[in-house]
Amino acid sequence: MTLVQMQSRPASSDLTRGTVVDVMEAGGPQVCDDMSVEVALSVMDAARTGRLVVCDLDGQCAGLVTQTELTAVRDSSASTDRVRLRDILCDHGSSVSPVTAAAEAEHTMRLLRLGAVPVVDEQGRALGVLALSR
């Protein structure tokens, strides 16, 4: 099964005040972790985005992948068409609650050098993405 779920984005994000839910992006496409790297790159290209929220078969957020990461895997000499997103997800623990103070989330993301993290509800479902501006 391959799931792709599209969501819209708000116009801007300001991490200086409010909570994460006030400043998060809707997240763009959400895909299932059984999707191949090549198909995920095609979804990114079609959606004109540089990242995807990855969910497991139960709809739980498994992580976030970027175009740079997927391109590196695809271009690797060890890559095959059988490599699935679940095989390459590195950091399953990086996510943020929608009720976290935006400034606190920004501080943590900068310390951990994360450009974006999934925003996850109490049931582990992805609500969107919190991204730092460059």
CATH (domain of 31)? 3.10.580.10
Distance CA 84, CA 38 (A): 9
Per-residue pLDDT in tens (0 to 9) along the chain, 134 residues? 334 443 444 434 455 569 999 988 886 789 999 999 999 999 999 999 999 999 999 999 999 999 999 999 999 877 777 889 998 887 656 899 999 999 999 998 999 888 899 999 999 999 999 998 76
Number of domain units in the chain: 1
CA 80 to chain CA mean position, Å = 23
Tokens encoding 22:
């006030």
β 30-32/51-55 pair status = parallel
Please, what sign has the CA dihedral across residues 48, 91, 89, 73? positive
Enclosing domain of residue 126: 4-131
Q: What is the pTM of this model?
A: 0.79
